[in-house]
Amino acid sequence: MVQKRNIDAVINSLHNYTLIDVRTPLEFSKGHIPGAYNIPLLTNEDRVLVGTSYKQQGRQAAIKLGFELVGSKWKHFIEQAEALQEGKPFLVHCWRGGMRSGSMAWAFDLYGLHVETLIGGYKAYRNALPSSFEKTYNLRILSGKTGSGKTRILHALKQRGEQVLDLEDLAQHQGSSFGSMGKLIQPSQEQFENDLHRELVQMDAEKPIWVESESILIGLRTIPKSFFQQMEHAKTIDLVIPREKRLDYLTADYGVLDKEFLKFAVLAISKRLGPEQTKEALLAIRENRMRDFVDWVLAYYDKLYQKSVEKREPTKVIQMPFEEIKVNEIAETISTLK
């Protein structure tokens, strides 16, 4: 007998299952439960055929076509599942917990695998996510002007055993016009939210969770509004690093990137940068004066940062001056703050 599980009962314990998503590869690529394996019952093309049959000929004709298309694949499905066995029960799901997941679960159960299905499928999972973003978390925001080493300090905090939520890693973007670094590819908005949820459910909401200061947009991905509002009102550690040190830091990171990418990124913010600054930044790139290029662009980002700081509640901002970007030392110092 295949047991059915409600999403509320398993949303925080999905790691206890081997998740099998039987939707098409296209559906899976748009968004899936983190950690799930894709064993598609139908190919992308097959699903279109079945859907067309359902609309034109009705449910029974579509079911018959589905069985015809799946045909001799059942053995392959079971072998795929066997290869994924992790000593945990399988939790099979499709979009709405309907025929696709029911059919796959039936085959697994008939073969003797321990299998359960998710009531409401992936849709139920997605509907349950907003509540996790609305939950109250003990956030600590790590702020500071561009080039203060915030991301590496977060990594150092994590190595010290602190809870760290790296939003830029989840979004695969560093947050500015240059944030893709010329190579990073962002996940879909849907997948970004799924991955964020996975990180949050693994954390103790009552203990400090360190998060880098961000705007609501990280590249093209949006931080869920309810969670972002918590970030805006959380205690903030504002790193104050000398500009020259930040220039050195940024030049080392961005000065080695592809010049065509850097030119494109400068042009993307040219209206906000201004004609003179844009001209000088592009010229510096062409002449390989990378520190000068960073200098021109940094003036813009420092102004942007100042505006964001002014929006924060002064009583919740603690300024911490450091003469050098010594990542481990900074992490050690701020980790002692209550």
How far apart, in whole angstroms, are the C-alpha atoms of residue 198 and residue 32?
11
- pLDDT tens per residue, range 173-210: 887 778 777 778 999 999 999 999 999 999 999 999 99
Residue 247: what pLDDT?
95
Residue 183: what pLDDT?
78
How far apart, in whole angstroms, are the C-alpha atoms of residue 78 and residue 136?
42
| Beta strands per DSSP E along the chain | 3-5, 18-21, 37-38, 90-93, 115-118, 139-144, 163-165, 209-212, 217-218, 221-222, 235-240, 317-321
Q: pLDDT grade, residue 160 (50/70/90)?
A: very high
Q: Are residues 73 and 109 in the same domain?
A: yes
Residue 307: what pLDDT?
78
Residue ending a domain, choose from 75, 99, 128: 128
**Residue 214 is part of a domain; what is its CATH number?**
3.40.50
**Residue 58 is part of a domain; what is its CATH number?**
3.40.250.10
Q: Are residues 71 and 178 in the same domain?
A: no
Residue ending a domain, choose from 128, 143, 165: 128
Over range 32-48, report the average pLDDT.
93
Residue 65: what pLDDT?
77
Q: Are residues 120 and 11 in the same domain?
A: yes
* Candidate list 94, 171, 239, 266, residue with the active-site label: 94
- For the chain, how many structural domains are there in total? 2
Residue 76: what pLDDT?
95
- pLDDT tens per residue, range 205-258: 999 999 999 999 999 999 999 999 999 999 999 999 999 999 999 999 888 899
Residue ending a domain, choose from 128, 160, 192: 128
Residue 47: what pLDDT?
83
The tally of CA atoms less than 13 A away on the side-chain side of residue 128 is 20
Q: Are residues 144 and 255 in the same domain?
A: yes
How far apart, in whole angstroms, are the C-alpha atoms of residue 211 and residue 163?
9
Q: Are residues 172 and 301 in the same domain?
A: yes
User: Which residues lie below 8 Å from residue 193, measured CB to CB, with a gap of 6+?
Assistant: 129, 133, 224
Q: pLDDT grade, residue 84 (50/70/90)?
A: very high
List phi, psi (to 5°) of 122.
-60, -30
Q: pLDDT grade, residue 42 (50/70/90)?
A: very high
Residue 184: what pLDDT?
85
Q: Are residues 120 and 191 in the same domain?
A: no
Q: Are residues 252 and 150 in the same domain?
A: yes
Q: 98 lies in which domain range?
A: 3-128
Task: Let me know if 94 is a catalytic residue.
Answer: yes
Q: Are residues 146 and 106 in the same domain?
A: no
Residue 199: what pLDDT?
96
